[in-house]
Structure 1
Amino acid sequence: MENRSARTVSRRLIVLAMATTLGTSALAGCSGDNMNNAGTAAVGESGNMNPEGLPIVKEQVTLNVLTVRWGNMGDSFVKNTWLQELEKNSNVKINWQVMSSNDWNDQKSVMLASGKLPDVILGDIAYGDSDIVNNAGSFLALDDLIDKHMPNLKAAMEQSPELKKISTFPDGKIYSLPARLPSRPVTQNQPVINKAWLDKLGLQAPTTIEELYAVLKAFKEKDPNGNGQADEIPTSSAGDLDLFLLTPFGITDLRANHMMIQDGKTVYYPTAEAYKESLKWARKLYEEGLIDQESFTQDNTMLTAKRQNPDVPLIGFTYQWTPDAVFGKWSDQYETIAPIAGPDGKRYQEGDPSGLSFRRNQLLITSSSKYPEVAARWADQFYTNEASIQNFWGAIGTSIEKGGDGTYSLMKAPEGTSADAWYWDNSFRDFGPKYVSPDFEKNIKLDPTTGDGLKLQLDELGKEHVTEPFPSVMYTAEEYQELPTLTTDIDGYIASTRAEWITKGGIDENWDAYVKKLEEMGLAKLIKIYEDAYERYMSVK
């Protein structure tokens, strides 16, 4: 799943979350009674539970645990040896309820409305921020449980305070558990170019936007794929401009909300001068045919067909997670290059200096659970280094080889299976509670030619240029009610105006009217929501 653009995933989850206002009884807001009462559910000490160590309980307890998996991934992960050993050693039997993401959106509202929830919900595609905020009575506040029954998580939060910051809801409480994934890069999508085309034309990889322009022009005019036809497409995207093309101008948008942090201050970039100048540059590329003329009208299926054209490669330049992400049999022709320097001579790279490791909403304990303390102690077992790598790649002895020197190496995937697909089969992968410390990561050995290891190698090209992103903030119930109306209109206007300016021109002439229109659409209110959420996030200690 690493080939999935984090921007795309983030945008989809945010939009779904903002559109969801479930449970009419819980709309009082994060600071209202429902949110506070959620933490007062009975969690009294049970004589059956051991206070520490394993087994967790003296007499076996069954927990119903629901998780949602992408598409048709199924439940093969339950064969993970570590999970099976935990069930045996903890005396906590898990009744897994595995849902497909294809069906989940139709069922999650029904489940909440029914009040018949499992003990535990695992993974952040089940319920997002808005679901939790607007249905607070369905989920327990976990602060006391963490303090009393989760020493592994408490230690992790002390070592990596980001875990607490991303997990603290607007009322100051924690309702879902976080994760820090192992061996994650700092960079998001990086510039990728057809090296075979460069070599044929005697060109070097571009380092500035001027050099990039010259290379794209050569790709279009000098037949680098050698078929005697002018069918080369210097760069292409689907449905809009590839916004990564604006990166050399300092435009980065990790959260897909048009917000950046510059010099410690929030910036809404669609009204910034740098954005205006970046669109002028994009207009020049489009006007000269260096951006695919179908970029604003084609869908992903059409774009994929071009990228994987069976006869000759057609695309020269793009931004991707790794070069092998999208080009099929032509993947070997592509290489990742360093960030392109912009007009100010600086290089910018989208990503997160703290790493693309931290996630929230990885485990919820519901108010329906009869065994919240047991569930908390069970979840805490996931917050050790060895447990976490086994729930990210697969069990030791199955996917991971433990060396006598304390190192951990990934085994090769079976013939005909991609490493990424194999890890998803054997583990929770991106989902579920886990914590791998920065120090422990030094003991993990990854193949630098493929998968996670390859991304870390490529990360070295751009990590020093990564900009500070707008953080993964949370919003109140009231803000979630306002955001969809504001963003639907404003984001739509920004996108349509961008397309018109790039394809037809008129940026300078219409800029002031564009900014005025945004102000009339409520831009000040939208920015205040973002800034208020940012201030709450930064205040968490």
Structure 2
Amino acid sequence: MSKQAGKFAAKKWTALVLAGALAFGLAGCGGDNSSAGSGNPAPSETSNFNKEGLPIVNEPVTLKVLTMRWGNMGDTFTQNQWLKDLETNTNVKIEWQVVSSNDWGEQKSIMLASGTLPDIILGDQTFSDSDIVNNLSYFRPLDDYIDPYMPNLKAAMAETPDLKKISTFPDGKIYSLPTRLPSRPKTKNQPVINKAWLDQLGLQVPDTVDDLYNVLKAFKEQDPNGNGKADEIPYTETGLAPDFLNPFGITDINANNMLVKDGKPVYYPISEEYKEGLKFANKLYAEGLIDKELFTQDATMTSAKQQNADAPIVGFTNQWTPDAVFGKWSDQYAAIPPIAGPDGKRYNPGNPNGMSFNRNELLITTSCKYPEVAARWADQFYTNEASIQNFWGAIGTVIQKNDDGTYTLMDPPAGTSADAWYWEQSLRDFGPKYVSPSFEKSIVLNPKAGDGLKLEIDKMGSEYVTTPFPNVMYTAEEFQELPTLTTDIDTYVATMRAQWVTKGGIDEGWDAYVKKLNDMGLEKLMKIRTDAYDRYMSVK
């Protein structure tokens, strides 16, 4: 046996051993549910299964549900009273398998290699598009289950067609279930400025790019933090964030260099708007109004500047909320309306339909012996009350249901942030949900904190939100080609962006830059993305 063959055999043996270990750890998953292990036939083949109403099964059935949580979040969400009541009301017992993001990557690879999966995968963070598309044989197409067993989801898709668009795979089938989160804004990030500095210098909130230039120049030269040091950094980020180019019509919520213009996909790093935006950035950089370490610092260095111990030193940025990154200086910062660009227009990144849609929130595996039961169980999540309780926490624990039909979020325990409390008490961003736009009017949020604050800020920019390049789905073949193309192309674009912002020369180098991108396969990349866009838009 050659050395190469020996290495391959060793790797294969190691994978088999690991797969076996995982299979042992997930003993009984899917293919050996507790009811099946006792010799009972599938509920859908007996009088045990109820096609309508509750309970879903007359005699208890156990389903194994796997979800991934960030870091050390743990499984406190499983004590959500709505989830506990769901077990009682449906007779479907859930054996939760909660894994940490810290080691999920390796566990996931072993699981997919072994083909030993639980009954249900929950949350879009657990399996990605490529994980699913490249392993379709492990997942059940759900089209045949939605009509007879999922009336709540069916009604939601009829009311909000984007749910079906986002869930349809390239072969025209639905393998994963979607979500529409409640009370989500239309805007993503918005301009955030040190309002205390503006007041100290007697300046107005900048309205245009020219105003922004003058404000940043004043921040640089007039010691607005009052410490007698020239330590102010008018603008800093980790790299030049796409949001910095918003006034030039560049809005990119997915950081994939794509936008939609006049109903067509556009690769904006070869657009005139992008070129003009980088010229403006170079002007600021040359005058010291942009952090000299913009392209060399990591996120830790950026955060250290945003939360500088002795005095606030950052003047302007783009953030989800003004309190997102500035630590003890948060009170000095305020969100402002989008900056008008050279064309006099304002552009805000986000989604006109709301920053609320995702797919891959629930998958039923082919290991599941009771897919009808799993489908009916999943459908229980698609009511308004179920969704808000799985986003914030249970009624009576986190949410107060009022006599007038409204729902008020309670204050978190002392010493706990609202967001951290919601993650403890609920599935939060993960899992299937649907809140009707009309129902959102009955949800009462605190306008000064958390989700309520973001909705207040949203009012400044929602009318300027552009239509983003959608969250399209790629075929297995496209997933094979994309990394080869994007790795080289994205690296070159980033390199030239840094060079042109710090050294200038964009006019002289532009034609050669565009030619090189075409030589690197930009046309093929755009064909893949345009094909995926056309498929997405064709779903009815």
Do the structures match in fold with TM over 0.5?
yes
1:246 corresponds in structure 2 to: 245
For 1:323, what is the secondary structure of its paired residue? coil
Q: Which digits, 9 at most, give the CA deviation of each residue in 1:149-197, with x for residues without a partner?
A: 1011000000101000000000000000000000000001000000000
1:18 corresponds in structure 2 to: none
For 2:50, what is the secondary structure of its paired residue? coil
Instruction: State how far apart, in whole Å, the 2-side matches of 1:43 and 1:513 are.
Output: 66
For 1:492, what is the secondary structure of its paired residue? helix
Alignment of 1:383-532 (within 5 A): 383-532=382-531
For 1:484, what is the secondary structure of its paired residue? helix
For structure 2, the 5+ residue unaligned runs are 1-14, 17-41
Q: Which digits, 9 at most, give the CA deviation of each residue in 1:459-509, with x for residues without a partner?
A: 000000011101110000100000000000000000000001111111000
2:201 corresponds in structure 1 to: 201
Cα offset for 1:112?
1.3
Alignment of 1:108-507 (within 5 A): 108-238=108-238, 240-507=239-506
Q: Read off the aligned partner of 1:539 and give its amino acid letter.
A: S
Contact in 2 for aligned 1:486/1:521 (Cα 8 Å): yes
Flag as ranges the 4+ runs of structure 1 deviating above 2 A: 42-47
Aligned-CA RMSD value:
1.2
For 2:323, what is the secondary structure of its paired residue? helix
Contact in 1 for aligned 2:391/2:427 (Cα 8 Å): yes
For 1:405, what is the secondary structure of its paired residue? coil
Instruction: State how far apart, in whole Å, the 2-side matches of 1:154 and 1:229 are.
Output: 62
Instruction: State how far apart, in whole Å, the 2-side matches of 1:154 and 1:148 are.
Output: 9
Contact in 1 for aligned 2:190/2:338 (Cα 8 Å): yes
Instruction: State how far apart, in whole Å, the 1-side matches of 2:131 and 2:43 are.
Output: 23
Contact in 1 for aligned 2:43/2:57 (Cα 8 Å): no
Q: Read off the aligned partner of 2:156 and give its amino acid letter.
A: A
Instruction: State how far apart, in whole Å, the 1-side matches of 2:217 and 2:532 are.
Output: 44
Instruction: State how far apart, in whole Å, the 2-side matches of 1:265 and 1:373 are.
Output: 40
Cα offset for 1:69?
0.5
Cα offset for 1:259?
1.1
Contact in 2 for aligned 1:236/1:242 (Cα 8 Å): no
1:96 corresponds in structure 2 to: 96
Instruction: State how far apart, in whole Å, the 1-side matches of 2:68 and 2:58 are.
Output: 30
Instruction: State how far apart, in whole Å, the 1-side matches of 2:211 and 2:260 are.
Output: 28
Instruction: State how far apart, in whole Å, the 2-side matches of 1:45 and 1:449 are.
Output: 53
For 2:393, what is the secondary structure of its paired residue? coil
Instruction: State how far apart, in whole Å, the 2-side matches of 1:83 and 1:449 are.
Output: 29
For 1:500, what is the secondary structure of its paired residue? helix
Instruction: State how far apart, in whole Å, the 1-side matches of 2:488 and 2:411 are.
Output: 48
For 1:63, what is the secondary structure of its paired residue? strand
For 1:121, what is the secondary structure of its paired residue? strand
Cα offset for 1:147?
1.3
Q: Read off the aligned partner of 2:151 and give its amino acid letter.
A: P
Q: Read off the aligned partner of 2:62 and give its amino acid letter.
A: T
2:6 corresponds in structure 1 to: none
Instruction: State how far apart, in whole Å, the 2-side matches of 1:52 and 1:368 are.
Output: 24
Cα offset for 1:46?
4.1
Instruction: State how far apart, in whole Å, the 2-side matches of 1:258 and 1:379 are.
Output: 35
Instruction: State how far apart, in whole Å, the 1-side matches of 2:241 and 2:170 are.
Output: 34
Instruction: State how far apart, in whole Å, the 2-side matches of 1:146 and 1:524 are.
Output: 38
Instruction: State how far apart, in whole Å, the 2-side matches of 1:405 and 1:519 are.
Output: 61
Q: Which digits, 9 at most, give the CA deviation of each residue in 1:395-452, with x for residues without a partner?
A: 0000000000000000000111000000000000000001000000000000000000
Instruction: State how far apart, in whole Å, the 2-side matches of 1:233 and 1:113 are.
Output: 49
Instruction: State how far apart, in whole Å, the 2-side matches of 1:107 and 1:283 are.
Output: 45
Contact in 2 for aligned 1:43/1:372 (Cα 8 Å): no
Q: Read off the aligned partner of 2:355 and give its amino acid letter.
A: L
For structure 1, the 5+ residue unaligned runs are 1-21, 24-41
For 2:260, what is the secondary structure of its paired residue? strand
Contact in 2 for aligned 1:66/1:99 (Cα 8 Å): yes
Cα offset for 1:388?
0.3
For 1:64, what is the secondary structure of its paired residue? strand
Cα offset for 1:264?
1.2
Q: Read off the aligned partner of 2:100 and give its amino acid letter.
A: S
Q: Does 1:539 align with 2:534?
A: no
Instruction: State how far apart, in whole Å, the 2-side matches of 1:357 and 1:46 are.
Output: 39
Cα offset for 1:265?
1.6
Instruction: State how far apart, in whole Å, the 2-side matches of 1:250 and 1:47 are.
Output: 60
Instruction: State how far apart, in whole Å, the 2-side matches of 1:274 and 1:44 are.
Output: 58
Cα offset for 1:51?
1.1
Q: Read off the aligned partner of 1:74 and give its amino acid letter.
A: G
Instruction: State how far apart, in whole Å, the 1-side matches of 2:504 and 2:242 are.
Output: 17
Contact in 1 for aligned 2:70/2:102 (Cα 8 Å): yes
Q: Read off the aligned partner of 1:491 and give its amino acid letter.
A: D
Contact in 1 for aligned 2:44/2:373 (Cα 8 Å): no
Contact in 1 for aligned 2:362/2:432 (Cα 8 Å): yes
Q: Larger Cα Rg: Structure 1 or Structure 2? A: 2
Q: Which digits, 9 at most, give the CA deviation of each residue in 1:228-277, with x for residues without a partner?
A: 00000001011x21221100000011122111111112211000011011
1:251 to 1:43, Cα distance in 2 relative to 1, 3 A:
farther
Contact in 2 for aligned 1:69/1:100 (Cα 8 Å): yes
Cα offset for 1:47?
2.9
Q: Read off the aligned partner of 1:205 and give its amino acid letter.
A: V
Would you say how many aligned residue pairs link Structure 1 and Structure 2? Answer: 501
Instruction: State how far apart, in whole Å, the 1-side matches of 2:218 and 2:106 are.
Output: 50
For 1:382, what is the secondary structure of its paired residue? helix
Instruction: State how far apart, in whole Å, the 2-side matches of 1:252 and 1:123 are.
Output: 27
Instruction: State how far apart, in whole Å, the 1-side matches of 2:516 and 2:43 are.
Output: 53
Instruction: State how far apart, in whole Å, the 2-side matches of 1:267 and 1:445 are.
Output: 39
Cα offset for 1:44?
5.7
Cα offset for 1:43?
9.9
Instruction: State how far apart, in whole Å, the 2-side matches of 1:145 and 1:104 are.
Output: 29
Instruction: State how far apart, in whole Å, the 2-side matches of 1:140 and 1:247 are.
Output: 41
Q: Read off the aligned partner of 2:98 and give its amino acid letter.
A: V
1:87 corresponds in structure 2 to: 87
Identity in percent: 72
* TM-score normalized with structure 2 length: 0.92
Contact in 1 for aligned 2:322/2:330 (Cα 8 Å): yes
Contact in 1 for aligned 2:285/2:502 (Cα 8 Å): yes
For 2:382, what is the secondary structure of its paired residue? coil
Q: Read off the aligned partner of 2:327 and give its amino acid letter.
A: G
2:11 corresponds in structure 1 to: none
